[in-house]
């Protein structure tokens, strides 16, 4: 999962896992591991929403109660923060999910099938 978080091949740890922002390579360019049969689907998006929501909601409450900023200022800061954190987490969580599936032999990664 750590190799996937770093967006590297779960098998060798050196080849790129993603060829664009979220598109998984069909095959590792270094070790030739087949990666096309992953089933990450909506998992990374759900986890991103879960993490961003649970991180930003308490911060939003704390900032509002402590400093009482103008609503537009508060919205702008937290909107940029939520978008930035989401863009950072999404490809990393997708890599971690693909790495988890590879490590557990889930889906097409099962060597017995």
pLDDT digits (tens, 9 = 90+) for 47-98: 999 999 999 999 999 999 999 999 999 999 999 999 999 999 999 999 999 9
Whether the predicted model's global pTM rises above the 0.75 cut: yes
**Using 50, 70 and 90 to split pLDDT, how confident is the model at 113?**
low
Mean pLDDT over 22-50 rounds to: 95
As a whole number of angstroms, the distance between CA 64 and CA 33 comes to: 49
Mean pLDDT over 33-59 rounds to: 95
Q: What is the pLDDT of residue 91?
A: 98
Handedness of CA 24, 88, 54, 96 (dihedral sign): positive
Mean pLDDT over 15-23 rounds to: 96
Number of neighbours of residue 95 by Cβ within 10 angstroms:
28
Q: Which residues is 18 bridged to in the sheet?
A: 24
């Amino acid at each position: 999962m750590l190799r996937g978080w770093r967006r590297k091949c779960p098998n060798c740890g050196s080849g790129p896992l993603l060829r664009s922002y979220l598109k998984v390579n069909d095959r590792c360019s270094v070790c030739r591991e087949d990666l096309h049969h992953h089933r990450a689907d909506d998992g990374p998006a759900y986890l991103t929403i879960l993490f961003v929501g649970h991180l930003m909601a308490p911060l939003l409450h704390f900032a509002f109660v402590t400093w009482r900023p103008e609503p537009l200022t508060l919205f702008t800061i937290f909107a940029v923060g939520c978008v930035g954190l989401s863009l950072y987490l999404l490809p990393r969580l997708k890599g971690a999910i693909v790495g988890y599936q590879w490590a557990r032999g889930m889906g097409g990664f099962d060597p017995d099938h």
